Amino acid sequence: IRHCPDIASFPEGGLPAPNLRKLIIDDCLRLEELPESMHSLLPSLLVLKVRNCPEVASFPGGRLPSNLQKLKIDQCSKLIVAHHKGFQHLTNLRKLKIIGCDELQSLPQEGLPSSLKSLEIWVCPLVE
């Protein structure tokens, strides 16, 4: 989903795509949140990239898909907490990259999954 400056949210109930493996959300300048039940809507998702979505302040209160292997968050300037329920259930997560999230204050207190092989955090001045 690229260059859709007027999308503010996904439809209620989300967009079920049980076989989708890769989702890129890029340049959705008004998007405020991702679908609440991503873990059930996108159970096969391996790669999630969210780029230049400056209004996204948090990730779904529901969980991200447990099969996720790569997560990239780039230029989401209002993002405060990477994921308030933690990443521990992402037992296949191998790569986490967070870039240019000016308001990001912390990673989950629960820690990161032991499967993580690569962690990159760039230009996130408030992360402690």
- Give the chain's domain count: 1
pTM (two decimals): 0.91
Helix (H) or strand (E) holding 93: none
End-to-end CA distance of the chain: 32
Domain housing 27: 1-128
Give per-residue pLDDT as tens, 47-90: 999 999 999 988 776 678 999 999 999 999 998 876 656 677 88
Q: What is the CATH number of the domain that holds 42?
A: 3.80.10.10
The percent of residues above 70 in pLDDT, for the chain, comes to 95
Beta strands at 118-122 and 95-99: parallel, antiparallel or unpaired: parallel
